[in-house]
Amino acid sequence: MLLEARNLKVCYGQVKALNDVSFNIRTGEIVAMIGPNGAGKSTSLKAVCGLLDDSNGRIESGQVLLDGNSILNKRTDQLVQDGISLLPEGRRVFQSMTVLENIKMGAYIRINKAEIKRDIERILDLFPQLKNRLKQKAGTLSSGEQQMLAITRALVNKPKFILADEPSLGLSPNFVELIFEKFTQISESGTAILLVEQNAYMALKVAQRAYVFSIGEIIQEDTCDKLKENEEVKNAFLGG
């Protein structure tokens, strides 16, 4: 198993955010997390990538294993070294930096400049639209293009897997289709994706398996094919 989270309990002060949450992901797999607002999906991603330091959310108990080794108390920059990239909610590209400068930020742990350059060129084949806009300020891109940029930035780290938090939020339907198509290509080249999505329809279409969250717990887990046929899931998330 590439990543395994076991029995996570997380609190924000007195607020319990996760109560005994377990999930896993294999190499090259796309796994979705769906469920209503506030159910604990983002908290689950944060627990994996070291963003719950005690000042902002605390892991009370549980385990997070990467390739069988505990990564529970590792800092985010160490986890980047280990091959975990975060595609944060809202994209968070640096608006006043150029597209290329943003991409290079994703490679900050790597040293070999020639190799980085080659990798950036290869990754940009996924998003040819960005190629002739490398010198443009990121803030001048549309939200869909900014998401392409955020994905490119996440990939230059050569991650084993990407944690994607609501990547379709605020994108036009065409861009949503495109981004999810790219996720499929990325996973086929061996990078796993843990995909948190409000857009359950698209998430279940692109992922192989999914976890359904409700108020700090996982209430269902199955293959997407099975979940798409599940009456509760259909009624709650797929418009009946």
Ligand X SMILES: Nc1ncnc2c1ncn2[C@@H]1O[C@H](COP(=O)(O)OP(=O)(O)O)[C@@H](O)[C@H]1O
Q: Which residues bind ligand X (CB under 6 A)?
A: 12, 15, 17, 35, 37-43, 56-57, 213
Task: Read off the tokens for 70.
Answer: 């505990």
* Helix, strand, coil share (%) of the chain residues, nearest 5: 40, 30, 35
In angstroms, give the least distance from the CB of 197 to ligand X. Answer: 10
Task: Specify the residue, 116 or 169, whose C-beta has the smaller distance to ligand X.
Answer: 169
Residue type, 175: F
Q: Which residue has the tokens 């607020």?
A: 15
Between 90 and 139, name the residue whose CB sits nearer to Mg ion.
90
Nearest to 86 by CA among 160, 28, 142, 139: 160
Residue nearer to Mg ion on the CB measure, 42 or 152: 42
| Shortest Å distance, C-beta 51 to ligand X | 10
Q: Is 157 in the site for Mg ion (CB under 5 A)?
A: no
Question: What is the 8-class DSSP label of residue 236?
Answer: H
Is residue 83 within 8 A of residue 48, CB to CB? The reply is no
Exactly one of 35, 42, 167, 199 binds Mg ion (CB under 5 A); that residue is: 42
Amino acid at residue number 98: T
User: How many residues of this chain bind Mg ion (CB under 5 A)?
Assistant: 1
